[in-house]
Chain A
Amino acid sequence: MKYVISNIIGFCVIFLMSLPASIASEFKSEILREAAAKNGYKVPSKVNPKFDGNKSSLGKLFFESEKLSFNASTSCSNCHLDEFSSTDGLPIAIGIGGHGKGLERVKGGGAIVPRNALPLWGRASPDFTTFFWDGKVEEKDGKVISQFGSTTPELDAVTTAISLPFVEIREMVSDDEYVKSQLMTETTGSAESIQKELVQRVINEINKGTELANAFDISVQSLEFVHVATSIKHFFADKFRLRESKFSRFFEGQSTLSLAEIDGGLIFYGKGKCSNCHSGPHFSDFKFHTIVMPQFGFGKNGFGVDYGRFNSTFDARDQYRFRTPPLHNVEKTEPYGHSGSVDSLRQIIEMHYDPLKYINTEAMNGRERRELFSIMARVDNEQPIGSALTGLELTNLEKFLNALSF
């Protein structure tokens, strides 16, 4: 009897002690849910598009086929691997000529693509409007703007984005003598030539012409590259659809987050000012901003320089600006930044408000410091700079970001 009474008293004491914490947690949870809703968060079921199973199966085949590399032996799946949450785990991608996975791929040689490979989560969603680090494919006012110019009126942004690597030098096309003399032109005609050849391979080498034509209810003779790309889009909508996360379940009131995760979320939507850019269902405003971070490798513009968005618009105001990266599964897609120069999630968070902590200017030469200064000069008044965070706050913010994983 004594034992039972002491146990009841014990439980009551524990219950009473935990009461204030749970009240605080509920209060903060409501603020967090409201802030997420105000910043455009939607649960996966409201973001994911429908897909056709047949087209998705074909798309998977094309995504993994090295035969769709014009004059080399690489496939989309070489740089978008399950092991690295649909990225390649490397700072900058290795395109044609690369072998193996992860570090193996670096040792194996191959052509360097000077940007960090992006994950593919949620890419087929209709509200995913801007693709690649510099937004070289984007949907604006109902029109798709891309390197293909006006030759792609039929395609949506994601299908256009999927079509690009197949005709990009170093990514899936080798700049051999034939390519240099016949295809490296300033027109989109070269891309069309390559795409026609790839469609023939789908028919004659992969032997999926009839299936692909049936899936689109057309004749084999009418097949175009758009059908290949659209199949891959369906595969994206299937395989890389957003899944339920700890946060999405919390948002719908189906489960709770820990107090640390809630505090991290309040920093994300509050003094960290993360949500000023990482907003919407994909945690990206699909706009372009400058984060001061070191450049890794040769850079898109050479000699350690990458002008980012400027390469797409040629507008000087866009120098060093990059598209806000989405954050689903962000904990699994290290390294970070457009050139993968930042190793850890914690470090990339800090780079947003305290970049100089990780940049040793004394070890840089004058040209490099000038480059750094140029980047800093592009941080304009419109750009939010979050408050400096303590160690505990950083840990909580990391925990919140981990709750976005699935």
Chain B
Amino acid sequence: MVFMCVCFFLLGTLWDVPLRAVARQFYQKDYGNHVFNCDNAMREHFIAKSQLSSQPSPSAVSFLQSAEVALIDCHEYDKFRKRLISLGLTENDLAIMGLKAIEEKQTDLSNLVREHEIRY
């Protein structure tokens, strides 16, 4: 009886663990792209704002306008994030996916270091 209760309890609380793991795997690449795109858009926006304040010119205004439109990538990121949450993924899941996306670039960097570092 106790065994049955434990089984039902575990099924009731952990039933979504494998589903979330599959979803994380399935959406990892898309989520990584959204993370990168939004990060890139925010950086470009920051640079464009800095440029306009340090060197105001018509082209600097134009750069900032483009950078503002490009922030739509962050809107797309937010939408994708909410969609994943509505599918059952938690904030922790998304944090792991975000870190994995960053790790992809870290791998590139470590390869780069391995290729170019001076060895004695």
Contact = CB atoms under 8 A, between A and B. Distances in A.
Interface in B57-102: 59, 62-63, 65-73, 79
| Residue picked from A24, A38, A279, most chain B C-beta under 10 Å | A38
B66 A382 contact: no
A266 B69 contact: yes
Given A387-B40, A387-B44, A270 B70 contact: yes
A269 B72 CA distance: 11
B63 A384 contact: yes
Given A387-B40, A387-B44, A270 B63 contact: no
A270 B62 contact: no
A276 interface: yes
Contact of A269 (B41, B44, B59, B69): B69
Interface in A30-64: 31, 35, 38-39
B81 to A, nearest CB: 15
A266 B71 CA distance: 10
A273 interface: yes
Interface string A252-277: 00000000000000100111110110
A262 to B, nearest CB: 10
Contacts of B69: 31, 35, 266, 269-271
A229 to B, nearest CB: 33
Contacts of A270: 66-73
Nearest to B72: A266
Contacts of B41: 271
A308 B55 CA distance: 28
A387 B70 contact: yes
Contacts of A201: none
Contacts of B70: 270-271, 387
Interface in A356-380: none
A275 B40 contact: no
A136 interface: no
Interface centre among B67, B70, B73, B79 (most CB of A within 10 A): B70
B30 to A, nearest CB: 11
A39 B66 CA distance: 10
A35 B44 contact: no
Contacts of A279: 62
A28 B73 CA distance: 12
A387 B59 CA distance: 17
Given A31-B69, A35-B69, A266-B72, A271 B44 contact: yes
A24 B79 CA distance: 10
B72 A38 contact: no
B40 A269 contact: no
A271 B66 contact: yes
Interface in A310-329: none
A31 B65 CA distance: 11
Interface of B: 33, 37, 40-41, 44, 59, 62-63, 65-73, 79
27 contacts: A28-B72, A31-B72, A38-B65, A266-B69, A269-B69, A270-B67, A270-B68, A270-B69, A270-B70, A270-B71, A270-B73, A271-B41, A271-B69, A271-B70, A271-B73, A273-B66, A275-B62, A276-B59, A276-B62, A276-B63, A279-B62, A382-B59, A384-B62, A384-B63, A384-B66, A387-B44, A387-B70
In order of increasing CB-CB distance, the 8 nearest A-B pairs are A270-B69, A271-B70, A270-B70, A276-B62, A269-B69, A273-B66, A35-B69, A266-B72
